[in-house]
Structure 1
Amino acid sequence: MPKSSFLSEILSTLFKRRDTDHPPLSEASLKDISLALLSAHGEISGMQLSRNFFAHYEKADADQRLGFFNFLADELDIDNEVLQMACADYASQNDTRSLKAVLEAAEPPRQELLRRLNQAPGATANLVRMRTHLLALQRDHANLGKADLDFVHLFKSWFNRGFVVLRHIDWEAPASILAKIIEYEAVHAIDDWDDLRRRLEPRDRRCFAFFHPSIPNEPLIFVEVALATGVPGSVQALLADTREPIDTKAADTAVFYSISNCQAGLKGISFGNSLIKQVVEELRFELPHLKRFVTLSPMPGLVDWLREAAQSGNKKAAGVLEQHQPPTGQPADDLRELAAAYLLSVRRSDGMPRDPVARFHLGNGGMVFNVNASADTSPNGLRQSCGAMANYLYDLDSIEEHHERYVGNCEVVATAEVQQLAKAAQGSPDGGPEDQYWTSKFMAIR
């Protein structure tokens, strides 16, 4: 794969900073270095302390890292007394000075520490990796959630849409970037370099990724796209080794068949909405004849829910689980009906759909276009959804309306066909009145 200006295009958005040698390490602890960094006044000394900190952090063991995160959460927290006094002063004065005091008191010192740690070259990537450790520790140390709020607050600013760069990834991209695509693919595993080549090189395939100038060698999120005629219902057919590429002029549909978040440390920082919208614009510019933009998406929680339904007495769910890979006929119909009901009716306690992929696409303005049986017959597809997958349609004229209906009313917008499938699932398996399982447990179809 030849060299390209791929990385230089990203790096050109930043001023180049000279990378000097690490300063000698001292015997100071992570806490000591942090306090010194908070008291430092010069940019050069701050940069040296930042680099010193990360050198220490990389060598720290699990207990030392936990101690540092406890220091962040407990010792660099908001001073409640100062904040209360500032709020009382603002309530009586209601002027710029008192508001400034409230804002300063409401920001914990750990936010300033994280900003100062970000001074050194490569620090942004280090902080993202650091948050992966923090997230893992939160499972057993709930108090660390306070510190995580500050990581999220700063990352939302540092990684907002104005700072990330969209790049088209093709087979000519640097090998290091291509290796990351293989590593981070989270939906349909890429077996080897030949498999990757089949996804990137043909004329009817596209891949786009967001990069951040401070982390130019690491994609933040990427989407794989297939150009097709019509809306596909099988990912195996879409990715078949023996398939013949189609002429891009014949394609009428762009299919987003895999969207992968790459950085665990950026959990909760949303890129998907911006990515899909910008990729749609890129494809419309390149191929203005495209009529539809759809997904072929997994339903990762379907089997878990089917088990719950079967245990509660739903015969149709029990039958689908016994069949597991429905071939044709009624079992496939049963799976489609239950999958539609799962997407449209099965909700969390907050009223949002239980399925995480559905929440992602509906929140971005997509609508449930179709549900397909035998759509992913891989071991993972059968394990998580009995092979079922969904198509979400991004209708460019209705994206904002669908988004508002979902966010404002928890409404799942779906085609009439999908709604009918969901209603059929809620009927009694014996043809009688509505199954008590549905009326007692889940919201009705809107």
Structure 2
Amino acid sequence: MTFLADILSTVFERRYRFRMSDKTDDRPLEALVADLIGATGEVSGVTMARQILSRYATLDDAEKQAFFHHLAEDLTISVPAVRAALETYEMGQSKASYRAFMEAAEPPRQELIRRLNQVPDATRSLVRMREDLLRLGRDDDALQALDLDFRHLFGSWFNRGFLVLRPVSWESPAQFLEKIIAYEAVHAIDSWDDLRRRLEPADRRCFAFLHPAMPDEPLIFVEVALTKGLPGSIQDLLAENREVIDADRADTAVFYSISNCQEGLAGISFGNSLIKQVVTDLSIELPGLKTFVTLSPIPGLVRKLKADGRQYDPTDDEKMRSLAANYLMTAKREDGLPLDPVARFHLGNGAMIHQVHAGADISEKGMQQSAGVMVNYLYDLAKVTQNHERFASSHTIAASSEIRSLSAAAEEALA
């Protein structure tokens, strides 16, 4: 019965697409938006949503910005209506008064976004739309407020419960692998041979989160090396002539690259869930794994050293390790969180700063960002929850004794 239903659904959807694609509505986009919000029939609503998304795709940046301003300024909440609904609710907290308050407090543009998402493949289009919004509304308060509505809805639609973890291998479809190459954000994949070296050997793994509404688009993926002991550099980890080991001989899983793929999903956190799920899955597959660490860049190190007027020599390994440890332990934003974005991510997940390695990334990017230094963040499953809670409540940084000693040495050198 399910198989038959799937066939009928597919046939109907194809006919439905064809039938609606022949019709166009040349009215202003604002009129189509108003009609969609007011639509009561499902078929008419889907037709209108398709028209809006199709028209939006043809707009230039100035027209997109005007469209966003229409949503931000004309489809916002009514402050008097919210105030009146709240007063009514305060006088009598009933189901009806609560519903009225919720309806008043939600801007019509949120319902618009929901209705746009009725169209097949609309989720992908809306992610691209938010990508435009983030780009065009960077310095615009009204558009940034509109983005909060997108972010609120996406936070529900891309909830962990809807995400699917999939292994990525050399046998994965070529179209999907092309996207892995394109989206790799940490260590560029130079060729198909380079990708093959990261996916095919027995001691390599890659995992991606997918969403059912975007099944051919990775949302985020992590590349993993299975090793004996901690690796000291990314060039050794990715060397063409390295020795491949059997997976069951490995005692360490190294997360050496985590790439977010969709700019339109910025601010929607996937990495925390991804790492924890991969750790769980690898622990089951390979019980010999005892250590789970990253080999991570330190993207803000050189910038901070230069800003503080601190001298550094990339060839002085011990001093670079000390400077890096001190930066990770002490450089903070105004809100008290670590200045380094990668540190914020992993420490917020409950990891600890474990080791730093000089000369670990001698690529042009690695030298520019961190003078070649990289860091291991350790995911100790017995301490992840405690570390996370302490970091979240008091911004306490979990670090090994070695890291603390290196940081203290840098402080003494300044005294």
TM bracket, shorter-chain basis = over 0.9
Cα deviation for residue 24 of structure 1 reads 2.1
Alignment of 1:92-103 (within 5 A): 92-103=91-102
The equivalent of 1:308 in structure 2 is: 307
Structure 1 residue 308 displacement after superposition: 1.0
1:404 aligns with 2:399: no
Measured against aligned partners, the alpha-carbon deviations of 1:128-182 in whole angstroms (never above 9, x if no partner) come to 0000100011123221011100100000110001111000000000001100000
Distance (whole Å) between structure 1 residues aligned to residue 91 and residue 26 of structure 2 = 49
Q: Secondary structure at the match of 1:254?
A: strand
Out of 22-31 and 71-80, give the one that drifted further. Answer: 22-31
* Structure 1 gap ranges (5+): 1-11, 311-316, 430-434, 436-446
AA at the equivalent of 1:34:
V
Q: Do the aligned partners of 2:77 and 2:106 also contact (CA within 8 Å) in 1?
A: yes
Partner of 1:377: 362
Partner of 2:194: 195
Once the two structures are superposed, residues 222-261 of structure 1 have per-residue CA deviations (whole angstroms, 9 ceiling, x without a partner) of 0000000101120000000111211112210000000000
Equivalent residue, structure 1, for 2:117: 118
Give the deviation of 1:96 after TM superposition: 2.1
Counterparts of 1:73 and 1:352, CA distance in 2: 31
Q: Deviations over 1:42-97 (max 9, x none)?
A: 11111111111111011111121111100111000000000001111111212222
CA distance in 2, matches of 1:381, 1:428: 25
Farther-moved stretch of structure 1 (242-251 vs 347-356): 242-251
Range moving further from structure 2, 413-422 or 132-141? 132-141
Counterpart selection for 2:331 from 317, 327, 346: 346
Indicate the residue corresponding to 1:386 in structure 2: 371
**Segments of 4+ in structure 1 off by > 3 A?**
none
Distance 2:354 2:82 in 1: 50
**Cα drift, residue 30 of structure 1:** 2.0
Seq. identity, %: 53
Letter in 2 for 1:92: M
Equivalent position of 2:404 in the other structure:
419
Q: Partner residue of 2:133?
A: 134
Equivalent AA in structure 2 for residue 344 of structure 1: M
- Rounded to whole Å, the distance in 1 between the matches of 2:276 and 2:90 is 43
Is 1:105 aligned with 2:104? yes
Partner SS state of residue 191, structure 1 = coil
**Helix, strand or coil for the counterpart of 2:186?**
coil
Q: Quick one: distance in 2 between partners of 1:221 and 1:33?
A: 34
User: In the alignment, residue 392 of structure 1 is paired with which amino acid?
Assistant: Y
- 1:176 corresponding residue in structure 2: 175
Return the alpha-carbon distance in structure 2 between the equivalents of residues 239 and 31 of structure 1: 52
Q: Name the structure 2 match of 1:207.
A: 206
Of 13, 16, 34, the residue aligned with 1:18 is 13
**Is the 8 Å Cα contact of residues 356 and 376 (structure 2) preserved in structure 1?**
yes
* Counterpart-to-counterpart distance in 1, 2:332 and 2:380: 24
How many equivalent residue pairs?
403
In the alignment, the residues of structure 1 paired with residue 292 and residue 301 of structure 2 have an alpha-carbon distance, to the nearest angstrom, of 24
Match of 2:268 in 1: 269
The one-letter amino acid of 1:189's match is A
TM-score (norm 1): 0.89
Deviations 1:294-319 (A, max 9, x none): 00000111111010121xxxxxx31x
The alpha-carbon deviation at position 39 of structure 1 amounts to 1.1
In 1, the alpha carbon distance for the partners of 2:235 and 2:29 equals 50
Aligned to 1:256: 255
Tell me if structure 2 keeps the 8 A contact 1:365–1:399.
yes
CA distance in 1, matches of 2:113, 2:198: 39
Amino acid at match of 1:420: S
Check conservation: 1:220, 1:263, Cα contact below 8 A.
yes
Using the TM superposition, name which of 55-64 and 344-353 deviates more. 55-64
| Residue in structure 2 matched with residue 363 of structure 1 by the alignment | 348
AA aligned to 2:289 is L
Q: Measure the CA separation in 1 of the matches of 2:354 and 2:217.
A: 33
User: Given the alignment of the two structures, is residue 151 of structure 1 paired with residue 146 of structure 2, yes or no?
Assistant: no
Shift of residue 270, structure 1, vs aligned partner: 0.3
Give the secondary structure class of the aligned counterpart of 1:297: coil
Deviation for aligned residue 1:98: 1.5
**Partner in structure 1 of residue 33 of structure 2:** 34
Residue 101 of structure 1 and its aligned partner are, at CA, apart by 1.4
Unpaired runs of 5+ in structure 2? 1-5
Contact 2:138 2:144 in 1 (8 A): no
Amino acid of the structure 1 residue aligned with 2:318: D
Contact 1:341 1:425 in 2 (8 A): yes
> 1:382-405 CA deviation, whole Å, 9 max, x = no partner?
000000111000001111000001
The code of the aligned residue for 1:156 comes to G
Structure 1: distance between partners of 2:29 and 2:255: 44
Aligned partners of 1:254 and 1:292 also within 8 Å: yes
One-letter amino acid of the counterpart of residue 408, structure 1 = S
The code of the aligned residue for 1:106 comes to A
Q: Helix, strand or coil for the counterpart of 1:31?
A: helix
Alignment of 1:320-339 (within 5 A): 320=312, 323=313, 325-326=314-315, 331-339=316-324
